Amino acid sequence: MHKKLFIPGPVDVAPDVLEQMKKPMIGHRFQECFDLFESCVKNLKRLMFTKNEIIISTSSSTGLMEAAILNCVKKKCLNFSCGAFGERWHQITKNCGKEAKKVEVEPGEAITPEIVEEELSKDDYDAITLTHNETSTGVTNPIYEIAEVLKNYDNVCFLVDAVSSMGGIKLEIDKLGVDVCVFGTQKALALPPGLAICSVSEKAIKKAETIENRGWYFDFLNLLKYARKFQTPATPAISLMYALDYQLKKILDKEGLENRYERHKKLGEIAREWAKKNFELLPKEEYASNTVTCVKNTRNINLKDLKEKLAERGYAFATGYGKVKETTFRIGHMGERTLEELKEYLNTIDEILGF
Ligand SMILES: *Cc1c(COP(=O)(O)O)cnc(C)c1O
């Protein structure tokens, strides 16, 4: 039996989207593949509200997080962390041999523009990293306010992980002045895992030109040289590109972006109401995410038991992650999830726990 995924990625993929992956294979140096690539890029720019260049990478999102560091950090990077994925970018920065300063807040708290301003004013950095939507704690950082601070730091590249928000929460790349925005296919876009996407600004390209060891697979300059011809240096996951192209058209032209954000907002509200009624939210409500809700296990429920009982009823349940692994659980509500499906899921939990 397939378990409906209420985890924060990967998420369920609609059958018609999966169907796209059965298309016959084509060569990646043929016009038909260039057309597919071009169509994906055109719609990705609409999704991201950007005129910046786009890279489609056959990797998970983490690959492009690493790419952003390799290409935009010459010496020193400031890593803001409010959970496990902020921490991941810090580890990547250090492992790439760069100087990395981590600024961390407690689980459930957000990175505020005040924190960013204070830290940026202390030293010279090539870049900052920010997790827009921290999937481990269910926090959406106030990126519009943070972007205002960045506008006073012309030489600093703004690197953003939008892995669990892009396509579910509005994020306007050009308005925000984000230099590299990274996300993957398996979260709010509701596609199978395997492709990562990022936008690259002129500033990021200029920075990359000053850096010598950018690797090969994730070298922005080489990737962009090919992307301008609607190609990739190495063989891309063509089947996933078929699904991406189809799903982007569905999102943009069938549901509509604003409707999609609104649906996610309602999903978030339903999950938060339920969490507050029965438990407690980990984040302050003003920063609580509309794609994933992190709930404090204030009743000391046996989560392993709950996970098993939900599995028997056809649901995949998400435990905690990172520092709050033992004390929280999460409700993933992104992608194609409907309000009805979420309510049914929460009712099932109520039934199991006898609420
Ligand atoms: C899932 C996730 C990642 C990691 O993505 P992969 O595609 O598994 O590499 C990074 N950041 C955030 C915020 C995520 O939710």
Q: Which domain holds residue 315?
A: 4-10+257-353
- pLDDT for 14-24, tens place per residue? 999 999 999 99
User: Where a domain ends, among 253, 288, 318?
Assistant: 253
Final residue of a structural domain among 200, 220, 253? 253
Distance from Cα 65 to the centre of ligand 1, integer Å: 9
Note the pLDDT tens digit of each residue in 183-226: 999 999 999 999 999 999 999 999 999 999 999 999 999 999 99
Q: For 52-117, give the secondary structure using H, E and C.
A: CEEEEEECCHHHHHHHHHHHHCCCEEEEEECCHHHHHHHHHHHHCCCEEEEEECCCCCCCCHHHHH
Span 270-282, mean pLDDT? 98
Residues 98 and 204 in one domain: yes
Q: Are residues 312 and 334 in the same domain?
A: yes
Centre a 10 Å sphere on the Cβ of residue 327 and count the other Cβ atoms it contains: 15
325 and 277 fall within a common domain:
yes
What confidence tens digit (pLDDT) does each residue in 2-17 have? 999 999 999 999 999 9
Residues 233 and 93 in one domain: yes
- CA–CA dist 221, 96 (Å, integer): 18
| Domains identified in the chain, total number | 2
Q: What is the pLDDT of residue 165?
A: 98
In the reported structure, the alpha carbon of residue 301 is separated from the centroid of ligand 1 by a whole-number distance in angstroms of 27
Same domain, 269 and 230: no
d(CA 251, ligand 1 centre) in Å: 21
In this structure, the answer to whether residues 239 and 312 fall within a common structural domain is: no
For residue 187, give the CATH number of its domain: 3.40.640.10
Instruction: Please give the distance, rounded to the nearest whole angstrom, from the Cα atom of residue 171 to the centre of ligand 1.
Output: 17
Residue where one domain finishes, among candidates 223, 253, 283? 253
**Could you tell me the pLDDT band of residue 74, with boundaries at 50, 70 and 90?**
very high
Predicted local distance difference test score (pLDDT) of residue 232: 98
Instruction: At 126, list the tokens.
Output: 């090539």
Ligand 1 atom nearest the C-alpha of 9 is 1
CATH number at residue 323: 3.90.1150.10
Candidate from 5, 59, 62, 80 with most ligand 1 atoms within 8 A of CB, to mutate: 62
Give me the pLDDT at residue 50, please.
98
Ligand 1 proximal residues by C-beta, below 6 Å: 9, 60-62, 85, 131, 133, 135, 161, 163-164, 184, 187
Residues 268 and 305 in one domain: yes
271 contacts: CB under 8 Å, gap ≥ 6: 293, 331, 333, 342, 346
Same domain, 248 and 280: no
Residue 86 is predicted with a pLDDT of 98
Mean pLDDT, range 228-253, rounded to an integer: 98
Within this chain, do residues 155 and 296 fall inside the same structural domain, yes or no?
A: no
Quote the ligand 1 centre to 105 CA distance (angstroms): 19
